[in-house]
A = this chain, B = another copy of it.
Amino acid sequence: MAGSSFGKIFCVTTWGESHGSGIGVVVDGCPAGLLLDEKKIQKYLDRRKPGQSIYSTPRKEDDIVEIQSGVFEGMTTGTPISMAVYNKTQRSKDYSEIARVYRPGHADYTFDKKYGFRDYRGGGRSSGRETIGRVAAGAIACELLKELGIEVCAYTKSICGITIDEEMISKENIMKSPLYMPDLEASSKAEHKLLQMMKEKNSAGGIIECTVSGLPAGIGEPVFEKLDANLAKAVMSIGSVKGIEIGSGFEAAFSSGFNNNDGFYIDENSKVRKYTNNAGGILGGISDGSEIIIRAVVKPTPSIASSQKTINRDGENIDVEIKGRHDPVIVPRAVVVVEAMTAITVLDMLMMSMTSRLDLMKKFFNLVR
């Protein structure tokens, strides 16, 4: 079944395989009137491209995006925006080994069971390169949200069990760390640990945190289309993410109602505020006007050079060592992917919320006539 689209009103459809002609995305439902060009998109893509540091695969890919439709005279027209990153160099590698092996932690086996065979070149459709489409679409969502006064910001919370001090979080610090880890001391420790992991032909996992600020209260639908439910789906749909939590998240299991509840108060400017934000900005699936906080866990890169036990297509037990150099940790390059998926979700739900009240609908159509 079709499963490469996300979003109901702002709808993103991705296509492409790792070593095919390229990776692309169609963004349908983008409002008309947003200033947009390739440069804006490219900035986001550059945050996920390989070869940014020694902690990511040194494969040389420029990942240059082209906008193919939906933009006219520098502005979105309201019609679908097709974007693509084409693979410049033909990758005529020898795939004979990978073609028949089921790598542990990868989707090789499950793709074969699902489809009968698979495009094994570089992981095919299950490769991390698929996220190029998400990031390009997320870039548009982020730019749109900014126009509406909403900011999405993701960063590395922890790698190899080394966790940042929350006080250090700032956009500036995030960009200073090769691991997008805003606590630079923690970052440096994690870098050390990663170098060691790399020597041991091993890999590491970590946690990404993402915040949304400026979101008005009232966004998200009760019941199944809760804001947190959609964020969970969005972020969990990123390869390698194995868990997600909102606000105090799994800590809530050990807390009490008295401690976990966030009391409301009216501040000196007559604004509604909360003493704490254990809810992560969402109550009953609907934004409460405070910061949205989500965290995702990213598993250690499954591609490691150590010898592992596994099987091949012929049903034989074998040992495999995965050749080539791979990211020793996926987390840093996944930061912008989490940001993208969060932005797409928040924008989509913001759009959904426009029909919640008849009085506001009346005012809207008075603007139109």
Contact = CB atoms under 8 A, between A and B. Distances in A.
Interface size class on chain A is: 35 or more
A64 interface: no
Interface majority SS (helix, strand, loop, mixed), chain A: mixed
Contacts of A28: 2-5, 13, 15
A164 interface: no
Contacts of A311: 264-266, 272
Interface string A63-93: 0001011101001111111101000000000
A359 interface: yes
A35 to B, nearest CB: 10
How many copies are assembled? 4
A308 to B, nearest CB: 6
A237 B282 CA distance: 12
A272 B354 contact: no
Nearest to A319: B263
Contact of A253 (B15, B298, B306, B359): B298
A279 interface: yes
Contact of A118 (B10, B77, B126, B228): B77
B237 A285 contact: yes
Contacts of A239: 284-285
A330 to B, nearest CB: 10
Given A106-B284, A283-B109, A33 B358 contact: yes
B308 A109 contact: no
A223 to B, nearest CB: 5
A253 B272 CA distance: 36
Given A14-B223, A222-B111, A286-B111, A352 B9 contact: yes
Given A266-B317, A283-B107, A1 B29 contact: yes
A258 B202 contact: yes
A221 B1 contact: yes
Contacts of A203: 256-258
Contact of A304 (B105, B257, B357): B257
A288 interface: yes
Interface in A17-32: 17, 20-22, 24, 26, 28-29, 31-32
A42 interface: no
Interface in A341-369: 350-365, 367-369
Contacts of A119: 72, 77, 79
22 contacts: A2-B7, A2-B29, A2-B225, A4-B79, A4-B222, A14-B80, A14-B224, A17-B79, A32-B356, A72-B121, A77-B119, A106-B283, A109-B264, A110-B284, A113-B289, A114-B217, A242-B249, A248-B299, A252-B300, A255-B300, A265-B310, A266-B315
Given A107-B283, A272-B315, 15 more contacts: A1-B9, A4-B28, A15-B69, A17-B72, A31-B358, A33-B116, A33-B358, A104-B263, A107-B286, A110-B220, A111-B284, A126-B222, A126-B284, A253-B298, A264-B309
